[in-house]
C-alpha cells in the first residue's frame, strides 16, 4: 500500500507550500491545485483520501467544487475546509455538502496536522467497517444461498420419498387385493370339487363308499374354510384360529346331523393367530379326530361328551386335545399302519407336517393329545428339497 494521498486546493501558493512542507515530512503524498477546476481533474486522477479546500478561489470556488464532487458518506475521501472568510451560513452549507472539518486562516499548522491525521484515521476506520459489513453481507448471502440449496434438496428428497412411499403402498395394496382374490378362488374351487363329489354320491348305493365320499368332502371343506377365513382377515398371512375351529366344529356337527343334545361338546380354545402352513395340517387333524368321535364313539349309546381344547403352552408350543367319552378305539390299533385313511392321515400330519408329538389313550373313551410348534414360513421347495 502506498502513502496516503492528500489534495490541497488553494489559490495562494504560499499556503500550498507551507502545508506541503509540513505534510511531506509525515509521509503523505501531496497533490495541489489553484482552483476548483484543477481540483476536479486531480480529484478524479489521484483519488485522494483527503482534500484541504480553500473556499475563495478564481475559476471555480470551493463550494462549487464540493457540489461537483458530490460527496457521500460512502466515498473514500473526506474534505477539510481551510478559509480566511466563511460566514456561518457558508460553513453550514459546506457541512451539508459533506465536509468533515472547518478551519479558519490564519491557521495553526499543528492544529491542521491534527485534523488531517484525525480525518484520515476516521475515514480508514469507516472504510474498514464498510468493507467488513459488505463482507458480512456477502457471507450472509452465501450462507442463505447454501441453506436455500440444502432446503431445496431436502424438499426434493421429501417429494421423492413420498412418491416412493405412495408407489410402495399402492403396490402392496394391489398385492393384497390379488392375494385376497387367490384365496377366494381357491376356496371356490375347493367348493366346486366338493359339489362335484356331492353330485357323484347320487349314483352310489354302497354305504361304505358313500362314507368315504363324505369324509373327502369334509376334508375339502376344512381347507376351503381356511381360505375363506384368510380372505376375510385383515392380515392375510395368519388366521384367527379360535374362530376357525369354532366354525369347523359347527360344520362337522351339521354335516353328521348330530343331535347336539345327545353329544355335548365342550371347547376351550386359546386366542391365537396361526399361519397357513400350520393351520392346514392342524385343521385336517381336528377334522379327522372330531369326525371319528361323532361317527364312531357313540355308536349304540345314548350320547356322551366330546371335548376339543387348544392351549398355548409356556414354551410357545400348542397342545391340541380331542377326547370323547365313547366306546374307545378298537384293540391293537396302530396309527402308523392303520388300514383306514383317517388315523393314518392324523399320524402323518402330526409327525411329518407339524413335526409334533402324538399321544392317545383309549381306556375311558378316546383321547388324543398333540403337541406342536407353529411352523415358520419357509420358501417353497426348501423344506424337503422339492
Angle at 59 between CA 58 and CA 63, to 5 degrees: 80
* DSSP output for 24-48: HTTT-EEEEESSHHHHHHHHHHH--
Report CA 375 to chain centroid distance, whole Å.
33
> At closest approach, how far in Å is the CB of 178 from Mg ion?
37
Closer of 119 and 218 to ligand ADP (Cβ): 218
Reference 220, options 244, 249, 186, 254; nearest CA is: 186
Contact 109, 18 (CB under 8 A): yes
Which residue of 78, 217, 278, 292 would you call a contact of Mg ion, by CB under 5 A? 292
Closest-by-Cβ residue to ligand ADP is: 342
C-alpha 42/C-alpha 9 separation (Å) is 10
Closer of 194 and 292 to ligand ADP (Cβ): 292
> At closest approach, how far in Å is the CB of 222 from ligand ADP?
14
φ, ψ for residue 360, nearest 5 deg: -145, 160
340: contact with ligand ADP by CB under 6 A: yes
Report CA 317 to chain centroid distance, whole Å.
37
Task: Identify what 326 binds: ligand ADP, Mg ion, none; CB under 5 to 8 Å per kind.
Answer: ligand ADP
Reference 97, options 60, 76, 70; nearest CA is: 70
Which residue of 225, 310, 343, 371 would you call a contact of ligand ADP, by CB under 6 A? 343
Give the burial class of 322: count Cβ atoms within 10 A of its Cβ; 0-12 exposed, 13-18 middle, 19 or more buried: buried
Element (H, E) at 309: strand 304-312
326: contact with ligand ADP by CB under 6 A: yes
Closer of 23 and 343 to ligand ADP (Cβ): 343
Task: Identify what 217 binds: Mg ion, ligand ADP, none; CB under 5 to 8 Å per kind.
Answer: none
Q: Take residue 225 and report the three cell numbers written for it.
A: 374354510
Contact 269, 309 (CB under 8 A): yes
Contact 29, 73 (CB under 8 A): no
φ, ψ for residue 381, nearest 5 deg: 95, -10
Which residue of 327, 348, 351, 360 would you call a contact of ligand ADP, by CB under 6 A? 327
338: contact with ligand ADP by CB under 6 A: yes
C-alpha 9/C-alpha 141 separation (Å) is 42
- 10 Å Cβ neighbour count for 373? 14
CA–CA distances in Å: residue 291 to residues 41, 255, 263: 121, 9, 13
The interface region with Mg ion, picked from 84-92, 166-174, 236-244, 286-294 by CB under 5 A, is: 286-294
Residues in contact with ligand ADP, total (CB under 6 A)? 19
Which string of x and - marks every residue 99-128 that binds ligand ADP (by CB under 6 A)? Answer: ------------------------------
49: contact with ligand ADP by CB under 6 A: no
> At closest approach, how far in Å is the CB of 183 from ligand ADP?
28
Contact 32, 10 (CB under 8 A): yes
217: contact with Mg ion by CB under 5 A: no
194: contact with Mg ion by CB under 5 A: no
Closer of 303 and 328 to ligand ADP (Cβ): 328
Which string of x and - marks every residue 304-333 that binds Mg ion (by CB under 5 A)? Answer: ------------------------------
Q: Take residue 182 and report the three cell numbers written for it.
A: 387367490
Closer of 245 and 346 to ligand ADP (Cβ): 346
283: contact with Mg ion by CB under 5 A: no
Closest-by-Cβ residue to Mg ion is: 342
Which residue of 33, 86, 342, 356 would you call a contact of Mg ion, by CB under 5 A? 342
Task: Tell me which residues in 283-322 interact with ligand ADP (CB under 6 A).
Answer: 288, 292-293, 295-297
- Chain residues that interact with Mg ion, rule: CB under 5 A: 292, 342
- Chain residues that interact with ligand ADP, rule: CB under 6 A: 215, 288, 292-293, 295-297, 324, 326-330, 338, 340-343, 366
Amino acid at each position: 500500500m502506498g502513502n496516503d494521498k492528500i489534495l490541497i486546493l488553494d489559490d495562494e501558493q504560499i499556503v500550498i507550500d507551507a502545508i506541503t512542507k509540513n505534510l511531506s515530512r509525515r509521509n503523505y503524498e501531496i497533490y495541489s491545485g489553484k482552483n476548483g477546476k484543477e481540483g476536479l481533474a486531480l480529484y478524479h486522477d489521484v483519488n485522494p483520501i483527503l482534500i484541504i479546500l480553500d473556499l475563495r478561489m478564481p475559476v471555480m470556488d470551493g463550494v462549487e467544487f464540493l457540489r461537483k464532487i458530490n460527496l457521500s458518506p460512502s466515498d473514500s475521501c473526506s474534505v477539510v475546509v481551510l478559509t480566511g472568510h466563511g460566514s456561518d451560513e457558508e460553513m453550514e452549507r459546506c457541512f451539508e455538502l459533506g465536509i468533515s472539518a472547518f478551519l479558519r486562516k490564519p491557521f495553526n499548522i499543528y492544529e491542521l496536522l491534527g485534523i488531517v491525521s484525525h480525518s484520515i484515521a476516521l475515514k480508514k476506520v469507516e472504510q474498514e467497517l464498510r468493507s467488513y459489513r459488505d463482507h458480512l453481507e456477502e457471507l450472509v448471502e452465501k450462507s442463505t444461498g447454501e441453506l436455500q440449496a440444502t432446503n431445496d434438496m431436502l424438499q426434493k428428497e421429501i417429494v421423492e420419498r413420498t412418491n416412493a412411499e405412495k408407489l410402495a403402498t399402492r403396490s402392496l395394496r394391489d398385492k393384497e387385493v390379488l392375494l385376497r382374490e387367490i384365496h377366494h378362488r381357491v376356496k371356490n374351487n375347493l367348493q366346486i370339487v366338493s359339489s362335484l363329489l356331492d353330485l357323484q354320491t347320487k349314483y352310489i348305493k354302497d354305504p361304505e363308499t358313500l362314507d368315504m365320499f363324505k369324509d373327502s368332502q369334509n376334508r375339502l371343506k376344512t381347507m376351503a374354510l381356511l381360505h375363506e377365513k384368510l380372505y376375510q382377515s385383515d392380515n392375510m398371512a395368519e388366521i384367527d384360529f379360535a374362530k376357525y375351529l369354532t366354525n369347523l366344529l359347527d360344520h362337522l356337527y351339521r354335516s353328521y346331523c348330530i343331535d347336539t343334545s345327545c353329544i355335548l361338546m365342550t371347547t376351550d380354545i386359546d386366542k391365537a393367530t396361526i399361519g397357513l402352513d400350520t393351520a392346514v395340517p392342524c385343521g385336517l387333524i381336528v377334522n379327522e379326530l372330531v369326525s371319528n368321535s361323532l361317527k364312531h364313539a357313540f355308536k349304540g349309546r345314548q350320547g356322551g361328551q366330546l371335548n376339543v381344547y387348544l392351549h398355548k403352552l409356556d414354551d410357545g408350543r400348542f397342545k391340541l386335545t380331542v377326547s370323547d367319552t365313547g366306546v374307545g378305539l378298537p384293540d391293537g390299533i396302530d396309527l402308523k399302519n392303520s388300514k383306514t385313511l383317517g388315523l393314518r392321515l392324523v399320524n402323518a400330519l402330526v409327525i411329518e407336517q407339524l413335526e409334533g408329538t402324538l399321544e392317545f389313550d383309549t381306556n375311558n373313551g378316546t383321547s388324543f393329545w398333540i403337541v406342536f410348534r407353529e411352523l415358520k414360513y419357509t420358501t417353497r421347495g426348501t423344506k424337503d428339497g422339492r
